[in-house]
Structure formats: C-alpha cells, structure tokens
Structure 1
Amino acid sequence: MAETKYDVLGIGNAIFDVLVQTDEGFLARHGMTKGGMALIDEARAASIYQDMGPAVEMSGGSAANTIVGIASLGARTAFIGKVKDDQIGGLYSHDIKAANVAFATAPATGGPATGCSYILVTPDGERTMNTYLGAAQELMPGDIDPAEIAASAIVYLEGYLWDPKNAKDAFLKASGIAHEAGRQVALTLSDAFCVDRYRGEFVDLMRDGTIDLIFANEAELHSLYQTSDFDTALAQLRNDVKLGVVTRSEKGCVVATKDGITAVPAFPIKKLVDTTGAGDLFAAGFLFGLVRGAGHENCGRLGALAAAEVIQHIGARPQVSLKALAKQNGLPV
C-alpha cells in the first residue's frame, strides 16, 4: 500500500461556534429542544444572537473538532470543509491551520456567509445547538481531492454532512476513493435527530461497506435501531459494521466488533462545564489510538481522556496539549 501523507483526514461542515452560558428559560423562550441540534435560517440566527448574552466565539464543526484533537495528540491531519471568503471564514481558516491541520479547501466567493452554530450551555453542562449551515452547504464533490483522500490512513466523516445534498455526494465520492486505496472510512452519527432524519441511509452505509467504523452515543444508537434496549441495539450494531464504538457519558464506552465487546470506563473529571465537543474529542482519541495500533482498550482510554479534557471548559477544542496529557496519564502516544 502507498505511503500515507495523513493519519486522519476529516470531511465536515465548517462551522464557527458562538457559545453562551444561559438558563432553561432562554431555551423555552426560543422553543429549543434541549440537547439537540436544530438547523436554522439566517433570520432565526439573527434573532437568537440578538437575545444572547456575552458569547465565546471560536471555530468548530464536528469533524473539524475531531481533527484538531487528533493533531493535538501529535498525528498528521487534514480537513475538508467549506467557508466563505468573509471575515469569519478567514478566522476559521486561520484557527484550523494554527492547530497544525492541513486545510486547502477553496473558500466560496459568492453565496451564503460562513456557517455558524449558536450553542446554549445550561448550568448542567448540556449543550443545545442551533446551526446555520451557510457556506458549509456549498461543499461539492469537486472539493474532494482524490490524491489527498487516497493518501490518508483513515477518512473521517460526520453524519451532519447528510443534510446538504452536495455534501452527501462528496462524502460518497471520498469513501469510494478511500476504499480503492485500501484505506478505512469512519463515520460519526453526530446527533439523534440527524439519525431520525436518515436512519435507513445510515444503516445501508454500514451494511454495504461504505463505512468501516461507526461512532455513536447511546441516544443515537437507540434512534438508529428504534429500540430502547441497549443490548438489542448493540447486537444489531455488531452485525452491521466491522467496528462500532458507543459512548455512554459517565459510563464510559463500549467497543464492539463481530468477535466481542470491550467496555472502557470514563475518565474522572473535577467538574462538568460544557458537553460541547465531548463526542468529537472522544473520536479524536480513539482514532489516534487506532492509527497508532494501540488496541481497542487503549483507543477507548485515549478517547475518554480527550473527552474529559474538553468537557471541563467552555468550547469544543482542547485547551492543553492532548499529547502531553496522554503521556502524563501513561497512555501510548
């Protein structure tokens, strides 16, 4: 097999995060479903932003957060996602490159503004997202560089890509190129509401081998198989995909293959501040372990460590070197 240029290449919606700590009353006032991700238009984005208190603004997007986490662990990474050539698009591009992630997607010159997600964090640390996709919807199959995909050990995709039609085509193109080159393709289910929208298509992607590895949390897994029984859903997952990883918040995670199940505990934390990015950073640690051949248990431990770091502060990207943190905790880097 040809040499790899990147350990993991992510494809996702390039979204700028606007985070604010608020109360349940704000969610009720704006008719938001707590803990979910709703797609919104520019007018609703403006009305939410107007009503928000002082915010923390930073680059985000599910797959991009994962890729930044993998880079923080010391692996070679790249990201494909669409911004507009506006001020926020410039900030986004600067942030991801500053995190040592290769980012060469040409910005859109016309059309909607760079995508933004208005994230409301309640006192219990739960995050509720309202996402204006904007320019992220302009990601096209033409933005997928076959040489870059073929040179990446793992191609990582987010379920949210299933919302814009062109992004879906870009996703399928990337998966085909990756498999032709003998690479692996991973998918995060992103959100239980996202699974509700595309359940049948996601199951097909797993069963037809478009996807080799799936990341899900408990809510997404239950939604995928429309059962409230965890063991039933897990058995089905093991049947449908080569490798499935299910995160269970404070209960840790379960790594499932056709051969068996490995349970890995969560990493202890001092205080839960903000769950934004917990799943993204878990995937970062797990994928890093996978490309390093660390074994499923250590992959799960690396994921738990990265998730624990990100939920103890505001925002979905690590604030310390995850590589140094892993070393301190005796994990393989």
Structure 2
Amino acid sequence: MKILVSGSLAYDRIMSFPGSFADHILPDKIHMLNVCFLVDGLDERFGGTAGNIAYALSMLNEAPVILGTAGKDFEGYEKWLDGHGITREGIKSVDSEFTAGAYITTDKSDNQITGFNPGAMKYSCGYDFSDIKADDTLAIVSPGNLDDMQNFPAVYREKGVPFIYDPGQNIPAFSGEQLLDMISGCKILVSNDYELEMIMKSTGKTRDELMEICDSIIVTLGENGCLVVEKDGETAVPAAKAKEVKDPTGAGDAFRSGLIKGLCMGKSLAESARVGAVSAVYCVEQLGTQEHSYTEEEFWVRYEENFGKI
C-alpha cells in the first residue's frame, strides 16, 4: 500500500543551559529584556512530523512517501533518510531557504525557550497526485505547510483516498470553518485531548457533531493511552509499558506510525491503536524523535507482551 505522509521536515537544535532562566531574568525589567545564556553545547537531531512518522514506518517495513519541503541545509537529513530506505520523491527542495528548524534551550529545571524558523516549510510541496490510486493508498495530513494542510484533504476526498487528519499545533492557524472543511470526510481525526477541546471551541461543534463529518476520532491521552471513538461506540486503549521514560517528544508521531501500520495490515481501529501504542513506547524510551530503533520481530514480541497476539 502507498502511504502518503504530509507534514514538516525539521532540524531540532537543542541546547542545555546549566543554570536557571529565572536567575537571569529580572521581573521588573521584562519590558526591556536583553539576556544571553551560555550553553554547554548544541545537539542537532532530525525531526518534523512527516520525518518522524516516516522514520517509524520504515522500521515496520513500510515505504512511506514524505510530502514536504526542505531547504539548502538538508544534506545531512537526506543521508539519514536514504540510510533508512525512505524515498525523497515527494520532497520539494527550496534552495533559497533553510530547512525548518526548532532552536530549543533547556535549563536545569527543564524550562524551555524555543524559537522556530519555518524556513522552507513556508512553501507548498506541490506534489503531483495524478497517478494516485484510491484502492491502494492511505494518507495522513499532519502539521506542516498550511496550504498543504488545507488543500490535501480536498484532493483526497475527490480521489476517494482514505486519510487521517492531524491538525496538531497548527489548529490556531485556521478558522473554525476551515477546520470543519479539512476534517470533513476523513477516515480518522487524531488529536490529543487538549487539541480536541481547541477544535471543538473553534468550530463550535461537540465531539458527537464532529463524528457526523468524519468516520472516527482517536483522542491520545499520553501515559493513559488513547480513546478510539467510532460510530458504534468507543474503546479505551492503554499505553504500552515503558522500560524507562526519557523523553515524550515525538511519541504522538510514533503512535500515528503504528496506527497506520495496523490499518495497512487490515486490522480494526482499536487493534491499530494498540500497534500505535507499542510504536510510541519505543520513542519515549529515548531522547529525540528519531533515536529509537528495533527490528520488526522485536516489535511484535513487544506487542504480544503488552496486548497478546494480534
């Protein structure tokens, strides 16, 4: 099955400040803030929603196609994708921009100051959908270029391609009317519980009313697993058991990868969500969104340990 993954490609550049931000910010001088933090070093990691989802899918023996944009500094990320057998056919190069990047400084109390440069993500990827076959394609629209997030659902509806919609952190960028249009007709609306509240507030719709325009909703609940909402009822799916929680960042993207894998296998939505739970737990056990690894055999052994035979 062809898996189309639209969303962001980004570098996460993480810096550690050994002190406390609070000791360097004077409350009575915030109106003229001018501070400098001497950090211990910089750690560059590969990230972005599309990159993260595609990475985890590649470990599950799938061949996702990333639909996104990259900048003039993408060479290192290119080699990473090539090394994991992930095609770059759907990635548009924007040579006048840098690849999107998050610049994150964390102090000793885990407080963070983040700057995000969208860079190449400001441009649509311009993917050619003319050869897409509805009966052999599954798509996910995740946070990335705003035009792609708005336009791709219409393309998928027109072509009859089942798609997952995941507006994530870009929810505030759209009006309620735009959100309703993008969600309409999707196979699954995926969001965490806070994001779902934002969607309902923006659209003025209840969860039941949203279910009238999409097939199903999956609400992720962090360490409490997720709730799978379908027309005939709902199913609570627990989180898989972590050996050690190091970093929850990227767990949502890893969950979506497992969810897609389950759907490609023809499993029910609840079963697919359990596959997602196992995919997510590997991510939280490592620092970074693409630092975890496993063989497919190891993955299914761990699935059985948590949920029994699939």
TM over 0.5: yes
Give the Å deviation of 1:292.
1.0
Deviations 1:93-136 (A, max 9, x none): 22122222211234123x22221112456778897753211112
Give distance in 1, aligned partners of 2:17 and 2:208: 39
RMSD (Å) for aligned C-alpha atoms: 3.1
Match of 1:219 among 194, 197, 200: 194
Q: Which of residues 87, 95, 99 in structure 2 aligns to 1:102?
A: 87
1:44 aligned partner? none
Q: Give the Å deviation of 1:315.
A: 0.7
Quick one: which of 283, 305, 310 aligns to 1:310?
283
Distance in structure 1 (CA, Å) of the matches to 2:63 and 2:219: 25
Residue 73 of structure 1: aligned partner = 60
Which of 63, 69, 74 matches 1:82? 69
User: What is the SS of the residue equivalent to 2:165?
Assistant: strand
1:178 is aligned, of 151, 156, 162, to 156
Aligned CA distance change for structure 1 residues 51 and 137 (closer, same or farther; 3 Å): farther
SS of equivalent residue, structure 1 residue 276: coil
Q: 1:290 aligns with which of 263, 268, 276?
A: 263
Matched, 1:196 2:164: no
Larger radius of gyration: 2
Cα distance in 1 between the residues matched to 2:242 and 2:43 = 22
2:4 to 9, 25, 28: 9
Cα deviation, 1:200-242, whole Å, max 9, x if unaligned, reads 1223322x32x33211001101111139xxxx95434433421
Contact 1:77-1:100 at 8 Å conserved across structures: no
TM-score normalized with structure 1 length: 0.77
Note if contact 1:121-1:128 (Cα within 8 Å) is conserved in structure 2. yes
Letter in 2 for 1:159: P
Q: Which residue of 2 aligns with 1:35?
A: none
Aligned to 1:115: 100
Q: Which residue of 1 aligns with 2:165?
A: 187
- Identify if the C-alpha distance between structure 1 residues 242 and 91 changes in structure 2 by more than 3 Å, giving closer, same or farther: same
Identity %: 21
For the structure 1 residues 236 and 53, does the alpha-carbon distance in structure 2 shift closer, same or farther, using more than 3 Å as the test?
farther
Structure 2 residue 206 is matched with structure 1 residue 205: no
Task: Map 1:130-141 to 2 at 5 A.
Answer: 130-140=115-125
Give, in whole Å, the separation in 1 of the partners of 2:133 and 2:23.
Answer: 47
The answer (yes or no) to whether the contact 2:14–2:105 under 8 Å persists in 1 is yes
Aligned to 1:247: 220
> After superposition, what is the alpha-carbon deviation per residue over 1:58-91, rounded to whole angstroms, capped at 9, x for unaligned?
221112211211111111211121112x3x3111
Q: How high is the TM-score relative to the length of structure 2?
A: 0.82
Structure 1 regions of 5+ residues with no counterpart? 31-46, 163-167
1:247-274 residue CA offsets vs partner (Å, 9 max, x unmatched): 0011110111222111100111133211
Do 1:281 and 1:303's aligned partners in 2 also have CA atoms closer than 8 Å? yes
